[in-house]
Structure 1
């Protein structure tokens, strides 16, 4: 089993009989999924998603894969193949197409509809290729066969990639629900057929590898949803992913049964459900869905709202309801149903929303107190089943945090795959398949690229640290008037502090530290004002740490006297 090696350098040239796989996201994290396959000078991209920020990344909208590995090679990309329509698999496509707008985008009907609508907002008209299960498509030196897989969104596809150097089966996100709401099961017959042909590298979803047994069927949620609709004394507010068509279908069915009207709230929810309805993936009886403004005329017992925000996103509808920053005011008698699982890292944000909604009198039904969510990912029993019927030569677990990747690797080894043929790698590590064997051959850049206020890549890790310091430790601006001849203070400095208490004199005791820093600089012949500002900043920061156990952001300003 391979492990990350910090000492790895750039990979060597790929042999002509080799196939290279580089994950630019999705390893060691839940999101930002993107894999690049290289063969005979051409590149095939599988998925291009985003990662949503955590609390230690303030002001960040989304996090992209690092495309620098593709710099100078955009023309070598033959296509972007999308396995399904979730944001962590398609959200980065607009940013990739801004680098080269004519990259063909390949996907199923619903996936292409979702990404086309998203690209329209970015004023990009994509070159799309529609595929369905059973289709085969030549994309440069890559022959791709598409396979139906079941997930928490309709129209998911796995892709089997044949090349002269070997074959790769990439599952995308999948599970093996035997009773799916749309009757579209994961095509295990195709998986077995690929196994008979020979799978040189199996790239397999790891999210639920730690969970024993088999994932619960989606239809098994019906009783819990029915209970909510039968017992709710007033309005029902359901929060879900804007792409979770199956879950929302069950909500609509329950609303029909209990004679409630439904309104979709939130731009992405309204857009996606309209697309799903138009394409026939969401079945909506005539007259069931109304505009949210029409709900004011209905009694609370006849109202259901379906909105975004189940992950605590600050600008989503549910968060704004909890903060009393939305036209819909939550109150006594309302029931809020959180119909999604928690993405790791969002626990605190979701907890704040639950507390906020409870404060206004709502009853909250969530994964912790009712069976209102099932996973869209295969559990350990399903993964072992796949290993046994496919019997791949090599395995590369994908999509998951490190504990998930490890657990998946252990399952592969338990089914008889040699540990040397199982690679557990980090984002950016280069995996080469040559003569039927995989090995780690190097590493490329695959860091976080932050989108903040519309700008891409302008926010650095250093700026994020500054933002955190501002939010947690406060800030102080030091204005120092320095005599150009002596290098000493011409008068006592001014301190402008925020977030550090109300005592305006608290920094007066830092003046000797500033004077010492200036004296040391003068003794060394340093008179450059930028260097003086850095020294004053360090002196005040160290003084604050010793005196007040605080580490504020210090902004020094030196003015020549």
Structure 2
């Protein structure tokens, strides 16, 4: 298949009931480029033999037409780097080897040196070069610390952080917290990636910070990036080639999978032969017929310290309460025989109120606990649970009335 990484592939699993095909991430790029295109002949051959079920990439199912050509992106990146009067910073995914090669080629054509920032980008380039996926002239790369030895118009800096990740290099550069690179007036920043759904706010924040710092930011509206995921027409082509009996849209969010299911209906698939499944759903095939069967339990396995999966819902609920409203501990010592309080009530708080500035609140809380305890002590049989609940309820009502907060209240009762 064709994607933004070398050697991307889908796979076909042959079973006694028919072939199950999983596309992986894919697109169809028909323009002539140095990168291998999709093997349409092999895809058609698999489809002719018969496909029981197709699982296909849904990431761009909502976008009409075809995804753009890498050839046009290559030309656009070259043009922007050639026309830039100052330094050029290019941000892209470290896994997008084709995009990195395009930046290398543009740097060579424009007579600029290339510096790399970000450990993941450095690692990707190192591995890709070892495997002959990247062609890099020997005198092109320089260390980022040496960029000041060259004129600004002779420098390209390649970095990561296209999704606005707080710890990524571009975000640090935008905020002015990166150790080696800061934005200068006249810099051009190419954002060679589109935001992953859900990351739009982070990306927008980074773009605003870059503009504030004086950079000219090129993103979205200019074709310095195309997606590695097929649009509507490409998804239709995959369905036509595979001709599956059943279809399961995968990847992307639910809305994208829903859009992909509509595309499948457009090419002639029956609605009942399309399954949009959630995590844990099982689709079973028996005698060539598909059906939803039981659901398996899925979800996050929480690791805390050396414990794995031992932090349950109740513990998490308690932690949430503690983080929001804090804790209040009430300590009371009494003599059961004499039916009198020996010590306390003493109130200790953490994360609720600052005691020195809330003396009135603490004093009144102490009086409420004292009144409740003395009243309960007059009964012949003292129920510990009842006493604790009475203290908790009485205090909780008063504290909420005064502060509109509900701290966790822990009554500690001691008998002497």
> TM (normalized to structure 1)?
0.63
**2:372–2:390 Cα contact (<8 Å) kept:** no
What runs of 5+ residues in structure 2 fail to find an aligned partner?
none
CA distance in 1, matches of 2:104, 2:161: 18
For 2:43 and 2:234, the matched residues in 1 are separated by 13
Partner of 1:344: 197
Indicate the larger mover: 486-495 or 248-257. Answer: 486-495
Q: What does residue 146 of structure 1 align with?
A: none
Q: Once the two structures are superposed, what CA deviation does each residue of 1:255-287 show, in whole Å capped at 9, x if it has no partner? A: 112221112211111111111111111111121
1:482 aligns with 2:332: yes
Change in Cα spacing, 1:503 to 1:512, as seen in structure 2 (3 Å) is: closer
Q: Which aligned pairs between 1:103-182 and structure 2 lie closer than 5 A?
A: 149-179=1-31, 181-182=33-34
Q: 1:508 aligns with which of 348, 361, 366?
A: 361
Are positions 1:311 and 2:163 aligned together?
yes
1:366 is matched with which residue: 214, 219, 237?
Answer: 219
Matched, 1:493 2:347: yes
Distance in 2 separating the partners of 1:353 and 1:462: 38
- Does residue 187 in structure 1 map to residue 33 in structure 2? no
Give the secondary structure class of the aligned counterpart of 2:178.
coil
Alpha-carbon distance, 1:300 to partner: 1.9
SS of the equivalent of 2:261 reads helix
- Equivalent in 78, 84, 106 of residue 232 of structure 1: 84
| Structure 2 match to 1:293 | 145
Structure 1: how far apart are the matches of 2:388 and 2:62?
Answer: 54
Q: How far apart, in 2, do the equivalents of 1:215 and 1:200 lie?
A: 28
Q: Does 1:433 align with 2:285?
A: yes
SS at match of 1:311: coil
Label 1:192 to 1:461 Cα distance change in 2 as closer, same or farther (>3 A): farther
Alignment of 1:497-536 (within 5 A): 497=351, 504-505=357-358, 508=361, 512=365, 515=368, 519=372, 527=384, 536=392
Partner of 2:252 in structure 1? Answer: 400
Task: State the distance in 2 between where 1:559 and 1:288 align.
Answer: 71
Asked whether the equivalents of residues 212 and 379 of structure 1 are also in contact (C-alpha less than 8 Å), the reply is yes
How many residue pairs are counted as aligned between the two chains? 405
Q: Does 1:357 align with 2:207?
A: no
The residue number in structure 1 matching 2:48 is 196
CA shift at 1:202, angstroms? 0.6
C-alpha displacement of 1:157: 0.5
Query: 1:362, 1:247 → 2: CA distance?
Result: 22
Q: How many Å apart are 1:198 and its aligned residue?
A: 0.5
RMSD: 3.8
Matched, 1:245 2:125: no
Range with greater deviation from structure 2 (502-511 or 393-402): 502-511
Q: Could you state the TM-score of these two structures normalised by the residue count of structure 2?
A: 0.83
Structure number with the higher helix fraction is: 2
